[in-house]
């Protein structure tokens, strides 16, 4: 599902040793380090196969790429696709361009791609608190609570 388990699950004294490789994978996924992910996958392949989780761990590759792209998007306002390819240890610039385009389309990152010059331009992050959005959300919650209160009073009055 792309969710990362809570760290306390890995720190249970009974699970520290058997879940050690999985903790390393989780930390690698959070960092978005593709090369380290590949190394850990090769190093712990026997453990993952014995646990019958190899297919599941292979599927984490996309999550590693997603976290790596998020970090790159935050860190760079403009970066070439060649640099993204090398940072994420991907196969080709064309593959990188497709992955970045899909991440933009899926809403993982806020950016645009210049296909002619082969670079990604991050969009500026808008301060949400400078708009009226927080006030509208708060107002909606207050209205919901008031309606819930009125319904409870009505239910108590008229059984």
**Residues 80-90 pLDDT 10s:** 989 988 888 88
Domain locations in the chain as residue ranges: 7-122, 128-157
What SS3 state is found at 52?
coil
With tokens 């992910």, the residue in question is 37
Query: 3 pLDDT exceeds 80?
Result: no
Q: What is the pLDDT of residue 146?
A: 97
**Those residues with Cβ within 8 angstroms of residue 72's Cβ, 6 or more apart along the chain or in another chain:** 79, 84, 87, 88, 120
Average per-residue pLDDT for the chain: 85
End-to-end CA distance of the chain: 44
Q: What is the pLDDT of residue 2?
A: 55
- Residue 78: CA count within 13 A, CB half-sphere: 4
d(CA 70, CA 64): 10
What is the DSSP secondary structure assignment for residue 128, as one 8-state letter?
Answer: G
Query: 142 pLDDT exceeds 90?
Result: yes
Average pLDDT over residues 47-65: 85
Query: 1 pLDDT exceeds 60?
Result: no
Query: 140 pLDDT exceeds 90?
Result: yes
Q: What is the pLDDT of residues 6-33, one digit of tens each?
A: 777 777 777 777 888 888 888 888 888 8
Q: What is the pLDDT of residue 159?
A: 65
Q: Where are the beta strands (DSSP E) in 39-95?
A: 78-80
Residue closest to 4 by CA, chosen among 63, 45, 56, 50: 63
Among 3.40.50.2020, 1.10.10.10, 3.40.30.10, 3.40.1190.20, what is the CATH number of 7-122? 1.10.10.10
């Amino acid at each position: 599902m792309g969710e990362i388990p809570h760290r306390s699950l890995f720190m249970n004294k009974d699970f520290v040793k058997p879940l050690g490789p999985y903790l390393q994978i989780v930390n690698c996924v959070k960092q978005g380090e593709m090369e380290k992910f590949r190394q850990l996958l090769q190093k712990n392949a026997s453990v993952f196969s014995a646990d019958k989780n190899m297919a599941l761990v292979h599927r984490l590759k996309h999550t590693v790429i997603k976290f790596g792209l998020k970090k790159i998007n935050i860190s760079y306002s403009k970066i070439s696709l060649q640099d993204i390819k090398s940072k994420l240890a991907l196969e080709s610039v064309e593959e990188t361009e497709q992955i970045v385009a899909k991440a933009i389309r899926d809403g993982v990152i806020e950016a645009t791609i210049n296909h002619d010059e082969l670079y990604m331009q991050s969009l500026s992050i808008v301060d949400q608190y400078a708009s009226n959005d927080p006030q509208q959300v708060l107002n909606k919650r207050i209205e919901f609570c008031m309606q819930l209160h009125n319904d409870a009073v009505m239910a108590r009055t008229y059984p």
